[in-house]
Structure formats: C-alpha cells, structure tokens
Amino acid sequence: MPDRIIDTSGLSCPLPILKAKKMLTGMAVGSVLEVVATDPAAPADFIAFCKATGHTLIESVSADRSYRILIRRA
C-alpha cells in the first residue's frame, strides 16, 4: 500500500520524473510513492531515475495504456 499517490497521466518526460522527485523529497525514508503515468517511456525513465537516486523501484506494471510504478524512498 503506497503512502502517497501521484497521477502524472497525460504528461510527457521529464514531467513525471520531476513531479515524482518533488513528491519524494517531502516523504520519509522508507515510504512508498505510487506514480500513475501514461507516457510509454515512463517505465524505463523510472528505472534510470531510481538507479541514479538510490530509490528502490518496487514494481512497474502496465495496464490499459497506463503504468503503475511503486518507488520506495531511499
């Protein structure tokens, strides 16, 4: 169960990453953010984002032209 959810549907790169980064900054270490995105590049973008920032990509699931991405804050 995520601690916070952010819907970035309709936004293209880099906006989903920037909005998630801003949200994660205000969250406690170990908390989970769910990102909902429609940008087809989002799954790969969030893999790279997590590698670069040290956050943990818990899950990335696609369904009906959208993506649900769960990130644990480092």
pLDDT tens column, 7-43: 999 999 999 999 999 999 999 999 999 999 999 999 9
Residue 33 near residue 50 (C-beta atoms within 8 A): no
Task: Count structural domains, the chain.
Answer: 1
Determine what percent of the chain is predicted with pLDDT higher than 70.
100
Determine what percent of the chain is predicted with pLDDT higher than 90.
96
Contacts of 46 (CB under 8 A, 6+ apart): 16, 17, 20, 35, 57, 60, 69, 71
Q: What is the CATH number of the domain that holds 45?
A: 3.30.110.40
Tell me what the pLDDT averaged over the chain comes to. Answer: 97
13 is catalytic: yes
For 14, phi and psi rounded to 5 degrees? -100, 10
31/1: higher pLDDT: 31
SS3 37: strand
Question: What tokens were used for 67?
Answer: 């993506």
Q: What dihedral angle (degrees, nearest 10) is formed by the CA atoms of 12, 17, 20, 24?
A: -170
- 6, 13, 23, 32: which one is catalytic? 13
Domain boundaries, position 23: 4-72
Q: What is the pTM of this model?
A: 0.95
